Amino acid sequence: MCYNLLDKEFYVNIFTIQAVKIIDKSNLKRRFFSPNKESFDLIENEVKVLGLLNDNSIIEIYEILRSKNCTYIIMEYIKNGTILNKIHKQTINKEEHVWKYFVDLIKGIEYLHETAKIIHFDIKVDNLLIDDKDNLRISDFSISRVFQDDDTFQAVKQGCPYYLPPEMTIKNEKFHGKPIDIWACGVVLYYMTYSKLPFYVNSRSDMKNLFEQIRTKE
């Protein structure tokens, strides 16, 4: 449900807010799924997608509030942060945690693909949170896409380039959405296991080299 920030409902609920994602429309960079899609549409896209989700594997959204220049997504607060934080702090026990988190992730992806009919398109360690019961929760649906029977999409480069599969590194190629998320889950598993990415370049200006690695490296 969405509210204008001038509504008194906002002031009633503000004391129960646990976490807020603030999207400043004036500072958004232009990002596209098609040549005519403006960056601010990503806000509406995330709002639409979040309204379709209801599963324990997904971060819970309480309300969506709007002002003239910002959109505020009110969500539960996950105090343990992301898997990335746990890896950097070396608080992941490889034998005990990696497989559990990976199973949680795959269950979440199964829900998104088979029940909600959504492709996440940005699965990465930064978007995977660990709750106080040590369960993995998926977040950030700004570039997610809803599909019906056919999960085919036109070639675009979206999401984190280090998590892209080979088919998304080739221009003008169509691809199926489900394998995109599954490939990214594999990259997450690799990162949890080895604390590094399987394909990497030192600069994002060297994407040609990165994509060549993704297509050809064993």
- Distance separating alpha carbons of residues 154 and 151, to the nearest angstrom: 10
Within 10 A of 56 (CB to CB), how many other CB atoms are there?
Answer: 13
Beta pairing partners, 72 = 22, 65
To the nearest 10°, the Cα dihedral for 160, 164, 167, 169? 50
Which of 61, 136, 141, 81 has the alpha carbon at shortest distance from 105? Answer: 136
- The question of whether 122 is a catalytic residue gets the answer yes
- Give every CB contact of residue 10 below 8 A, 6+ residues apart in sequence: 3, 4, 65
CA terminus-to-terminus distance, the chain: 47
Catalytic residue among 7, 41, 104, 122: 122
- Beta strands (DSSP E) in 93-132 are 118-119, 128-130
- Distance separating alpha carbons of residues 141 and 49, to the nearest angstrom: 7
Sign of CA dihedral 102, 125, 33, 209: negative
Within 10 A of 192 (CB to CB), how many other CB atoms are there?
Answer: 22
Q: Active-site residue numbers? A: 122
